[in-house]
Every structure is written in C-alpha cells, then in structure tokens.
C-alpha cells in the first residue's frame, strides 16, 4: 500500500514506481524520461490532462486521404496501432471517391441524462408533484445553461418516468439535451445534479406528502446510450460500376458482399468481429479528435443490440441493379470543450478536417467506420484478409527480428511476390544474412 501517492511530485512518483516494481532499474527510469517532451511547459500541459502522469505514451497518428463525404474532400486523421487500418481506410476511400463518395444524414443529436430516485408513496402523488415543479427544475439550471442557450442548445425537456414495474419504488427524471458542438458530459451532469437538488428541496418543502413518504435520490448522471444522437452514412453504386482492378466480376462481388453482411446481421460470432473492424476506423478518428472513445464504443455496441440480439452495424442490399450499403450508429462527440481545446495535436487534427462542427464530425467518423468495414469485407470475400494484413504487418515482424534498414528494404521487396508469415520472414532474413536470398 502507498498512501498519499498523488501528493508526491512527478519525480518522486517515478522514483517510487521504479524502486518498488523495477528494482531501481536504470533502463526503466531512462525509458520513462525518453518519452518526455523537452519543452517543459508543453510537457506540463500533457501531464495535467490526467492524474499521476509519469510520461507520455505514443501511438501513431496517420492520415487517410481521398474521403469524399457529402461532396467535400477530407483527409482523415487516424490514431491506431494496428498496421493495416489506415491503409485499408485510404484504399476504400479512394475506391469510393470515383463512385459518388459517402453520403451522410445526421438523424438526430439529442442526448439524455437521468436522475435515478426511489419514492415509496403514491405514484400519482409524485407525478402530480413533478408536474407542479417541472418549470422550477428547469429554471434552477439557468446559470448553467446560459452559455449553452446562447449557442442554440440547452435542456430540451424534462420528464418523470415511472419504473416501479422493474424495481420497487424506482423512478427516473429523464432529461433531454442539445449540447450543440460539445459532447456535453460535464454540462449534462451539472444540470442533472442541480435538478436533483431542486427536486429534493421542493419535495422537503412540499406539504402534499405524508410523513411516511420518503424520497431518496440515488444518482444523477448522463446516459452514454445515445440512440437519439445518430448518423447514417451511405455508399451507393450501379453494380457494373463496382468493377475495379481487384473486382473483376462486380455482380458476383455485390451478391457475396450482401451475403457477408447478412451473416453479420444474424450471427453474433461474426457480428462482433465485423463490428470490431468498423471500430478500427471509428476509434482511430474519435481518438485523433480528442473525443471519449469509451463512451462511443459503449453506445455503439448497445445500439448494435437494440433489436434484442447483437448484430452488424452495417447493412447492404441490391436494389434495382444498385449496390446500396450503409451504417447507422450513435456517435456522441464534440468539436469544442474538454481536451479538444487544449491538446495541440487534437487541434491540428480538427484543422486538418477543416474545423468541422459536431454534425460534420459525426459524418466523418461514420464514413471512417463504413470505409473500414468495406475494406475488410472486400478482402474477406476476395483475396482473404491475411495477404494484405500480413503485408502491412511485415515491418513490425522485421522490427521484432532486429532487421536493419537495408535488410528491411530487401525483404519488403522479396515479399511483394511471396506470402508473409512470421516464419517465412524469419527464414528470408536468415537467408539474406547468409547472402542466399
Ligand atoms: C481486424 O482488425 C478486423 C477484421 O477482422 C474485421 C472483419 O473481420 O470484418 C478484418
């Protein structure tokens, strides 16, 4: 046990961790420091994003160009450690750029929060009471909602939900919000806590309840399930136009593609992998733009189960000789607020995206997810996934085998015409080192 760890200085924290878990190893200490930025104030900015920061943790930031989304050309920033993700997104984007590009519709942007409470008296009474103080609840948030109202957002409505059928005495005050260009978590939670306080105060001051009527506020928190903050992104093409260098029989390709999606719509084992591929694209952009990828993940996976069983987030059909393919997902993100205004790289990424508003960013993220899914399914139903995946992973294998730059160039050349596996790369490197390749 270590008491008061958070109160130690950064150096003291590192010293304690190194002594306790690394046997005061010099290399471990050096590694931590190697990741520091030389510019002290720049480093401090990053240190202060979170508690107990010791150092930085690098992930590659790549870009995927040629995304035509709603007739606008984007180069999308992606943060990911998976070697084939950016290449797959770029390839899919380029392919669709000559076939009309991605078309998006932001279906809605409403977010919700709940005050969960218990009340043991008559449901009718609490409902009547709620209606009588409903305006006061909203008014009590005026200070908090002032700026949001100026930006065109705020509280949309407040309702009481009787949940006593699921849990004894359980009710919710459900509040809907428009948070405009911010994700709005802090704003929503502040409003909810204020509403809960006002509700409790009004309850205690009211004389309509009996002595035995008890109100217990359990908690007030936003919901990360955002089924009313949804974007749909679509790709559409005449089947004959699907023809390309690697799609020689577009009719067969389209049919097989629709069948592959149908499997993911019906089989959970496939659906999870299918959606994981979509999240390769979505998370990468969500992270690059400084948004909360855990919230986005949680909402999207819950949405994938909205019909009672977990299923594919993308859908495809052939209609009147056209291939129609789309994704529909909840994405609660922001383009202002939180870390977004602070993290220099996040700001850079948003500038690269030409300063999108939150609706545009929802479309961009949806397009990245759809592109990733298209690339995965295209590979799966044609060449198989491993050819492309292992080609992209080749450099990682070579790095893990300690290859130098000359060896890397030679081996990459060799594997243009050969199948990449860990063992085949190991063998090729051995041969090269013996001048036998
Ligand atoms: C790998 O990260 C993602 C895929 O497995 C997705 C899929 O199977 O659709 C290729």
- 340-368 mean pLDDT: 97
Has residue 73 been placed in a domain? Answer: yes
Residues at CB less than 6 angstroms from ligand 1: 82, 273-274, 276-277, 280, 376, 380, 385
Give 379 Cα–ligand 1 centroid separation in angstroms: 10
- 259-271 mean pLDDT: 98
| Residue 384 predicted with pLDDT over 90 | no
Per-residue pLDDT tens for 143-163?
A: 999 999 999 999 999 999 999
Q: How many domains are there within the chain?
A: 4
Residue 311 and residue 316: Cα distance in Å, rounded?
Answer: 13
Per-residue pLDDT tens for 88-108?
A: 999 999 999 999 999 999 999
Q: Which residue is closest in CA terms to ligand 1's atom 7? A: 274
pLDDT band at 50, cuts 50/70/90? very high
For residues 326, 331, 108 and 116, what is the CA-based torsion angle, rounded to 10 degrees? Answer: 140
Per-residue pLDDT tens for 304-330?
A: 999 999 999 999 999 999 999 999 999
For ligand 1, mutation pick of 380, 382, 392 (most atoms within 8 Å of CB): 380
Question: Are 329 and 240 found together in one domain?
Answer: yes
- What share of the chain in percent tops pLDDT 70? 100
Predicted confidence at residue 32, as pLDDT, reads 97
Mean of all residue pLDDT scores within the chain: 96
Predicted confidence at residue 304, as pLDDT, reads 98
Predicted confidence at residue 392, as pLDDT, reads 79
Question: Are 98 and 141 found together in one domain?
Answer: no
Give 276 Cα–ligand 1 centroid separation in angstroms: 6
Q: Can you say whether residue 432 is alpha, beta or left, with left for phi > 0 and alpha for psi between -120 and 50 degrees?
A: alpha
- 16-45 mean pLDDT: 96
Alpha helices in 206-292 (DSSP H): 250-266, 268-288
Question: Are 207 and 232 found together in one domain?
Answer: no
Has residue 218 been placed in a domain? Answer: yes
Q: Which residue is closest in CA terms to ligand 1's atom 2? A: 277
- Closest residue by Cα to residue 358 from 179, 190, 103: 179
- 167-173 mean pLDDT: 98
- What share of the chain in percent tops pLDDT 90? 94
Has residue 426 been placed in a domain? Answer: yes
Has residue 329 been placed in a domain? Answer: yes
Predicted confidence at residue 224, as pLDDT, reads 98
Question: Are 370 and 236 found together in one domain?
Answer: yes
Question: Are 290 and 188 found together in one domain?
Answer: no
Ligand 1 atom with least separation from CA of 377: 9
Q: What is the CATH number of the domain that holds 170?
A: 3.30.70.420
170 compared with 396, residue with greater pLDDT: 170
- Closest residue by Cα to residue 58 from 405, 345, 425: 345
Predicted confidence at residue 338, as pLDDT, reads 86
Q: Which residue is closest in CA terms to ligand 1's atom 10? A: 376
Predicted confidence at residue 387, as pLDDT, reads 76
| Residue 386 predicted with pLDDT over 80 | no
Residue 281 and residue 84: Cα distance in Å, rounded?
Answer: 11
The sign of the dihedral angle between the CA atoms of 185, 188, 192, 193 is: positive
Predicted confidence at residue 383, as pLDDT, reads 81
| Residue 279 predicted with pLDDT over 90 | yes
Q: What range does the domain containing 421 cover?
A: 389-433
pLDDT band at 40, cuts 50/70/90? very high
Q: Comparing 16-20, 376-380, 387-391, which segment has the lowest mean pLDDT? A: 387-391
- Max distance between CA atoms of the chain, in angstroms, equals 93
Burial 355-379 (b: 16+ CB within 10 A, else e): ebebbbbbbbbbbbbbbbbbbbbbb
Predicted confidence at residue 83, as pLDDT, reads 87
Rounded to a whole number of angstroms, the CA Rg of the chain reads 27
Predicted confidence at residue 231, as pLDDT, reads 98
Question: Are 167 and 93 found together in one domain?
Answer: no
- 344-365 mean pLDDT: 98
Question: Where is the domain boundary, 222, 240, 261?
Answer: 222
Question: Are 284 and 427 found together in one domain?
Answer: no
| Residue 388 predicted with pLDDT over 80 | no
Question: Are 424 and 342 found together in one domain?
Answer: no
Ligand 1 atom with least separation from CA of 84: 2
Residue 349 and residue 374: Cα distance in Å, rounded?
Answer: 24
Ligand 1 atom with least separation from CA of 264: 9
Question: Are 153 and 71 found together in one domain?
Answer: no
Predicted confidence at residue 17, as pLDDT, reads 97
Q: Which residue is closest in CA terms to ligand 1's atom 3? A: 277
Give 82 Cα–ligand 1 centroid separation in angstroms: 11
- 348-375 mean pLDDT: 98
């Amino acid at each position: 046990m270590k008491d008061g760890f958070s109160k130690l200085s950064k150096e003291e924290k590192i010293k304690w961790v190194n002594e306790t878990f690394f046997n005061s190893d010099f290399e471990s200490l050096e590694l931590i420091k190697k990741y520091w930025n030389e510019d002290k104030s720049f480093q401090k900015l990053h240190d202060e994003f979170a508690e107990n920061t010791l150092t930085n943790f690098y992930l590659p930031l790549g870009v995927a160009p040629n995304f035509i989304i709603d007739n606008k050309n984007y180069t999308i920033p992606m943060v990911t450690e998976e070697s084939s993700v950016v290449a797959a997104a770029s390839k899919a984007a380029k392919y669709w750029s000559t076939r009309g590009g991605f078309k998006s519709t932001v279906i809605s942007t409403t977010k919700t929060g709940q005050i969960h409470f218990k009340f043991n008296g008559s449901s009718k009474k609490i409902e009547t009471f709620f209606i009588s103080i409903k305006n006061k609840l909203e008014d009590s948030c005026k200070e908090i909602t002032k700026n949001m109202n100026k930006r065109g957002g705020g509280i949309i409505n407040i309702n009481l939900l009787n949940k006593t059928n699921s849990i004894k005495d359980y009710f919710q005050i459900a509040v809907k919000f428009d948070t405009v260009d911010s994700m709005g978590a802090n704003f929503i939670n502040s409003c909810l806590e204020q509403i809960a306080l006002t509700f409790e105060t009004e309850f205690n001051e009211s004389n309509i309840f009996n002595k035995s009527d008890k109100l217990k506020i359990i908690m007030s928190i936003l919901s990360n399930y955002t089924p009313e903050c949804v974007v749909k992104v679509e790709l559409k093409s005449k089947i004959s136009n699907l023809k390309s260098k690697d799609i020689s029989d577009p009719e067969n390709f389209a049919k097989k593609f629709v069948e592959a999606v149908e499997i993911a719509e019906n089989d959970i084992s496939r659906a999870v992998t299918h959606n994981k591929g979509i999240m390769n694209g979505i998370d990468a952009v969500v992270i690059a733009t400084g948004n909360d990828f855990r919230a986005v993940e949680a909402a999207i996976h819950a949405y994938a189960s909205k019909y009672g069983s977990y299923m594919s987030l993308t859908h495809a059909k052939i209609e009147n000789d056209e291939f129609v393919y789309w994704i529909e997902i909840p994405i609660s993100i922001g383009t202002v607020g939180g870390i977004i205004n602070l993290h220099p790289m996040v700001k850079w990424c948003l500038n690269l995206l030409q300063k999108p508003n939150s609706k545009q960013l929802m479309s961009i993220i949806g397009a990245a997810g759809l592109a990733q899914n298209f690339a995965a399914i295209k590979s799966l139903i044609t060449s198989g996934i491993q050819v492309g995946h292992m080609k992209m992973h080749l450099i990682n294998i070579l790095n893990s085998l300690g290859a130098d730059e000359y060896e890397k160039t030679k081996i990459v050349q060799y594997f243009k015409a050969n199948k990449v596996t860990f063992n085949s790369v190991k063998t090729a490197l051995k041969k090269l080192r013996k001048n036998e390749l």
